[in-house]
Structure 1
Amino acid sequence: MEGKVGYDLFSREPGRIGLTPAGRELLPAARHALTHLALGLTAAREVGSGRAGRLRIGFAASLALTVLPSLLRTFRERFPAVDLDIQEMTTTPQLAALRERTIDIGLLREPPAHDAELGFETVLMEPFVAVLPASHLLAGQRAVRVEQLADCPFVLLPRAVGPPLYDQITGLCIAAGFTPQVTQHAVEWQTICALVGTGLGVSLAPESIRRIRLKGVAFRRIEPSTVRTRVAVAWRKNDPSPLVPGILAALNQGPPGRP
């Protein structure tokens, strides 16, 4: 420090060391710097350990009806110093955002079976329901078979925003002996349900969508209900945020009865 200042900071007398005028002038700034360094070291340790920092989460809109609320409550209880940045996006944009490092965690439907860059952990296996106009003849039944929808126009999400889920839904129809005639597309499930309610068609959707309460829309379970849509959490394998283990723990050890 004396070399940087260019003057003595300490007076060195036999049996006694004191501050020179230059040293006394530097002392408050030195104490201030050490205090901020200590605070910075503490903050860095908190972030490095996953107890603080910022976690960016992408989520499929339908998961706001199931997994997301309980996950966020549990995570905030355990990690109150972490700032959460929540972004709604469909599966394909989430996968791209993870690779581009603009989000740290994804909550999505039907992830790829294998991915060299990303890790996945199943959160929920969810059955499908039929989404019908309330005035539809099938709405009078407690359950429907997929083949009963063969002559109906369909309202579905565009394949580009979630190819695996789109293929799974159309696969249900093909297994029932017909190819769905998709006459309307919408990105959000709430919009799909609203269009169904106007009578523009029917749809097949994850069961959680029935929590959307819209006048003129009926939800009926599918029989047999052997097919499930997979909900998963996704993260980068090679560059995980130190906060990722915390969110995985919140998912795996959340309150009993979580969806």
Structure 2
Amino acid sequence: MPLPPSPTPSASGLRVLLVEDEHDIAANIWDFLERRGYVVDHCADGAGGLARAMQGGFDVVVLDLGLPRLDGLALCRRLREAGHGVPVLMLTARDSLDDKLRGFAEGADDYLVKPFALPELEARLRAMVRRKHPDGGLAHGPLSYDPHTLTALREGRRIPLTRLQGALLETLLRDAPRIVAHARLIERGWGPAGTDMAALQTQVYALRTLVDRPFAQPLIQSVRGVGYRLVSPA
């Protein structure tokens, strides 16, 4: 199948967790999405997929229904019971109405029957992300960010950011609550040329001054010698 054109900016950087045990299908989806600008992680069984999804940091989950160790329905149900609202696209060879209704009842956001066209898969992923973040923004707890306007929002207060501050916050939000290494933040903020640790620390300090200091609880946490992460409010 010929690949579509290069990724649009709105697709670039979206993080996808792919939970699929059929190697060929997983490889095709992974290759297609990466060429379109997505960042893809893959698990080949339900138990591993659940553990990975529980860590957070994904914009969408692509979930096969028939998985070893833990099936897709049970995975989706446990994810929702744990309070995770990440959009879930369920993949299955079952196309009956009852099967689809069961998937929706367990918390799936959309349903795609195999075999399917890869451009349709992407279109459904994009639609699900738009429904969760209609303005194209990202959020973690009380903090959100709209990369189109370079504006953060916390507790009703709009906070304009510079392009560099926005790039750092966007990276932290996409991976939250996981730790983002110093080197990755530098690459996202300054590009391949990079910079030194002092410059990164200066910019994170400025970002904290804007999105943390005016509020009761700080969200940007330093992990000594490793990087930074966004924590959830107590």
Compare relative contact order (CA 8 Å, sep 6+) and give the higher one, 1 or 2: 1
Task: Identify the TM-score tier after normalising by the shorter chain.
Answer: under 0.3
More strand by share: 1
TM-score (norm 1): 0.26
TM-score (norm 2): 0.28
